[in-house]
Structure 1
Amino acid sequence: MKGIDTPQYDQVVLAGKKIAIVVTRWNKFIVDKLLQAATEHLIANGIAESDIVTIMCPGAYEVPLMCQHVAASKKYDAIITLGAVIRGGTPHFEYVAGECSAGVMRVSLDTGLPIAFGVLTVDDEKQALDRCGVGEKSENKGEESAACVLEMLCAISSL
């Protein structure tokens, strides 16, 4: 992973944790690669496949509301959000990306639930491909988002 080393997780803390992955339907060819990497990282680091639930929503604008309902269900210990908002020729990008980011943060702060923001906000398809492990760069923001929630679960449990 670029920019941060993968921490050593406390397997005792992570045992039995349930993770919801909220995934958008837009830009499926990118988002599927983020989801695959996130799921693989969770499983490789002690989260049982049966404790990972993927929840689809239409697009990035709807992600915060879906996270709010997931958090309210009290069934999950953390949430990973995955999607891709690619800039176009209109201001639509700014509205969608900004509201998605702010809404996810609000849900996390309001509920105290760790939520990783894995919704790509990029200028073009090439940047999106680079961030899902397909392009010239070998990083995957899905994997990084999974690492984020695992680290947060461990850090919060140590308080």
Structure 2
Amino acid sequence: MSGHGAPSLQPVDGSDLRVAVVAASWHTEVMDGLLAGAERALDDHRVGESVVVRVPGTFELPVAAAALAEAGYDAVVALGVVVRGGTPHFEYVCSAATDGLTRVALDHRTPVGFGVLTCDTDEQALDRAGLPGSSEDKGYEATAAAIQTAHTLRGITRS
């Protein structure tokens, strides 16, 4: 299982943070689970201000994440899903999303939670979506990671 070895981090106080979640629209059931997980993480970390922005697909996540980082959000969470098909489309979209989101994080010095599922099958995506019966909750994990990194960065810049 890919979740093996995951850290057991406790929620931090995010009441002074502004967090944006940008979510793709493809694969409605999976995306509903990822968004629900993100909302639970925002609540558990007591985030002061949050917004959810929707884009058509995973390929569009980086440009929206960049706009949100430029708008001053302390952290951005990117949620999407790409399921392998019979063409090279999977590799192109996964690579573009990963490279683009990494660039946003580094160029804007803004944590970007990577909640993009890259799966071989619909069943794998559903198993990671945080739905009842899922073995993992990647929406929650990506959001918690972004919030905790923003919290850490606040400590660094205040030192």
Spell out, residue by residue over 1:26-80, the C-alpha distance to the aligned partner (whole angstroms, 9 max, x if none).
Answer: 11110110000111111122114xx110000011111111111111122x11000
Q: How does 1:37-76 map to 2 (within 5 A)?
A: 37-48=37-48, 51-74=49-72, 76=73
Partner of 2:103: 106
How well do the aligned residues superpose, as a CA RMSD in angstroms? Answer: 1.7
Partner of 1:22: 22
Say whether residues 1:128 and 2:130 are aligned partners: no
Partner of 1:115: 112
Q: How far did 1:134 drift?
A: 3.6
1:84 pairs with one of 81, 99, 107: 81
Q: How far did 1:9 drift?
A: 4.2
The more displaced of 107-116 and 148-157 is 148-157
Which residues of structure 2 form unaligned runs of 5+?
none
Determine helix, strand or coil for the equivalent of 2:98: helix
Does the CA-based 8 Å contact 2:59-2:97 persist in structure 1?
A: yes
Say whether residues 1:147 and 2:149 are aligned partners: no
Measure the CA separation in 1 of the matches of 2:56 and 2:125. Answer: 18
Which residues of structure 1 form unaligned runs of 5+?
none
Measure the CA separation in 1 of the matches of 2:69 and 2:153. Answer: 17
The more displaced of 54-63 and 130-139 is 130-139
Measure the CA separation in 2 of the matches of 1:126 and 1:19. Answer: 30
Partner of 1:5: 7
- Please give the TM-score of this superposition, normalised by the length of structure 1: 0.90
Q: Percent identity?
A: 37
Provide closer, same or farther for how the CA distance between residues 154 and 6 of structure 1 changes in structure 2, counting only shifts above 3 A. Answer: farther
Please identify runs of 4+ aligned residues in structure 1 that moved more than 4 A: none
Measure the CA separation in 1 of the matches of 2:55 and 2:88. Answer: 22
Say whether residues 1:95 and 2:97 are aligned partners: no
Q: How far did 1:4 drift?
A: 2.1
